[in-house]
Chain A
Amino acid sequence: MSSDVTQPQVDSIYKPLPKVTGWRLFLKTVIARAYPRLIGQQREKSWMFFDIFLPMLAVSAYVFVYRAIQAPEDYVGFAVMGGAMTAFWLNVLWSMSSQLYWEKEQGNLALYIIAPNQMMAILLGMALGGMLATALRAVAIIFLGTILFNVTFVVSSFLQLLVVFMLSMTALYGMGMMMASLFLLLSREAWHLSNLAQEPIYLVSGFYFPIKSFPFWIAAGASIIPLTLGLDAMRQLIFASGPALGFVSVKLEVSVLLVLCVVFLVGAKLLLDYMEKLAIREGRLTESRR
């Protein structure tokens, strides 16, 4: 360093960052963890192709099945909507539930625990970043599906639609945060469990057909997955035949979604605390079992 630089100048350059605590730290952590999810998307745009192309293939296949059996045109819209929502479910499975397992495999999990921030903030950041990035894909799938298959929307209430969507996402990502804690203690099973939780959930949650088709108690049981009621309510609000094919009223679905939001977010906090302690005690945070 040059001798004509004074100590105060050095101090001003190397001034330590102000200590951030409390809710500011929480917020900064959320933003910091959400940032790579959004920026990563921009840095590798070609991922968007696969993220949209693969669900579109499934959607197209189901649309052509509906066409082959001469289903009413609204069912084509149901399939397109369901296909778009699969993007959120896959994001929750692979980028929320399994995320802590991936972090453990790559050695980042111990760093998360060591850093002076809350794990809940990290999970929330992952959820927010993932949700925003996935929303872009979902919109693209709906847009393409609408163009390709001439889907007609008849939106009865934009406000209700927005409320249902936001509640569904909050509950869904809350569920993802809760599952992340459970998956933390899994090894390769995490990969297989995520893989297993795709088609069965598409089935019971009615991603490609109205959930009303199931007996009441099966549909009610499937409602533990927020997308079941969220998707049903959204279909009721945007398709002409939606209300007739809805499971229960939109109001009731909104109420249940509210309850699910609270249950999953509180559950996520409690489980995360418990699993973190357990993992530290058993020394499984840094293990890598291939």
Chain B
Amino acid sequence: MLNLHKSEFWRSFRVATWLGWQIESNWADPLLFVIYSIVKPLASASILVVMYGIITNSNFQNPLFPYIYLGNAFYIYVGAVMGGVSWAVIDDREHYKTLKYMYVAPIKIPVYLLGRGVARFLTGSISVFITILAGVVFLKVPIVLQQINWPLFFLSLLIGIVMLAMMGLLLGSITLLLVHHSFGIAEGVAGALYLFSGAIFPLEVLPAWLRPVGFAMPITYWLELLRRSLVGNVAQAFPTLAGFSNLDLFGILVVLSVAFGILAIYAFRWCDYRARERGLIDRVTNY
């Protein structure tokens, strides 16, 4: 029985990953697809670089610069993974009109949705890598391979990706029940988190009454851990999280990720039940 469950879990994930990759990549020839995957994030990073360069007379040695640059680079994962998982509901229900067939297939729907996010994770990883590489080569972002805290980096990255996938599942669950605005929800949440998680500016720049929102979000701690693992001296430059050790941050990240994971699982169960009960699985809103 256990084996059957494992097999169903794995099959759902594997097939969804393959399907997601086909949908993401088969609209263009590989070269165009690679250009597409690179140009957008580089342009986005360049806006910040130019803004920073104009005001500081290109003082890229200031610790604020790697703070902004790396935060922006890793934030690509937020839109990619979280949006990728939740977008699968819209894509299958509204565009391809296949969600009902997925429901009758012998697969686990939450696992299927998580699998659909993998393709975006892969393309997102390329974008993150290229963005950071461009920063190191052209803008002297102070990443030294020998000084990177690799265990902290990979562990934080892994937990963060799982956390983002679960947040995507949470959004996907809500999307199951939405008629209107399901298209904007992932973009809206990603945009809001970009603002509140201190991705591109330290949290103390925010008005004091907004800072608690940032402190409640696991992404804030995740980005800080990634920065610290790559360029350790960044942490000392800003008072926001300077009082926390790496272990403190890691603990907070794990606790918040587990909390969001549990929330996502329960939210999916409830939303899935409501969607089936109200006949929303095969609905096409044409909205």
Chain A residues near B53 (CB-CB < 8 A): 213
Q: CA separation between A289 and B228, bound complex, in Å?
A: 47
Contact with B along A274-290 (1 / 0, CB 8 A): 00000000000000001
B184 interfacial contact with A, CB 8 Å? yes
Interface size for B (C-beta < 8 A) is 37
Assuming the A-B contacts A65-B51, A192-B36, are A199 and B44 also in contact, with contact meaning beta carbons closer than 8 angstroms in the complex?
yes
Query: Do residues A203 and B43 form an inter-chain contact, with CB atoms below 8 A?
Result: yes
Tell me if B187 is interfacial: C-beta within 8 Å of chain A: yes
Contact A200:B205 (CB < 8 A) given known A50-B181, A65-B200: no
Question: Within 8 Å of chain B (Cβ to Cβ): is A35?
Answer: no
Check B50 against A199 for contact (C-beta < 8 Å). Answer: no
Residue A112 interfacial (CB < 8 Å): no
Interchain CB contact (< 8 A) of B55 among A61, A75, A195: A75
Interface flag for A58 (CB, 8 Å): yes
The reply to whether the CB of B195 lies closer than 8 angstroms to some CB of chain A is yes
Cβ of A54 under 8 Å from chain B: yes
* B157 close to chain A: CB less than 8 A: no
Chain B residues with CB under 8 Å of A208's CB are 47, 51
| Chain A positions 164-201 with a Cβ under 8 Å from a chain B Cβ | 187-189, 192, 195-196, 198-200
Select the residue from A71, A75, A209, A213 with max chain B CB neighbours within 10 A. A209
Do B40 and A196 touch (CB < 8 A)?
yes
- Which residues of chain B have C-beta atoms less than 8 A from A58's C-beta? 191
Taking CB atoms, residues of chain A closer than 8 Å to B201 are 61, 64-65, 67-68
Whole-angstrom CA separation of A64 from B52 in the bound complex: 12
One digit per residue, 1 when the CB lies within 8 angstroms of any chain A CB and 0 when it does not, for chain B 43-67 equals 1101110111111100000001000
Tell me the bound Cα distance from A213 to B58 in angstroms. 12
Known contacts A57-B191, A71-B55; is A199 also within 8 Å of B43 by CB? yes
- Cα of A208 to Cα of B181 in the assembled complex, Å: 27
Instruction: Using A54-B191, A203-B46 as known contacts, say yes or no to A196 and B36 having CB atoms under 8 A apart.
Output: yes
Q: Can you report 30 A-B residue pairs in the complex whose CB atoms are below 8 A from each other?
A: A46-B181, A50-B188, A54-B184, A54-B188, A54-B191, A57-B188, A57-B191, A57-B195, A61-B201, A62-B51, A64-B195, A65-B48, A66-B55, A67-B201, A67-B205, A68-B68, A68-B201, A69-B52, A69-B64, A71-B54, A187-B27, A188-B27, A192-B28, A195-B40, A196-B36, A198-B40, A199-B40, A203-B47, A208-B51, A213-B54
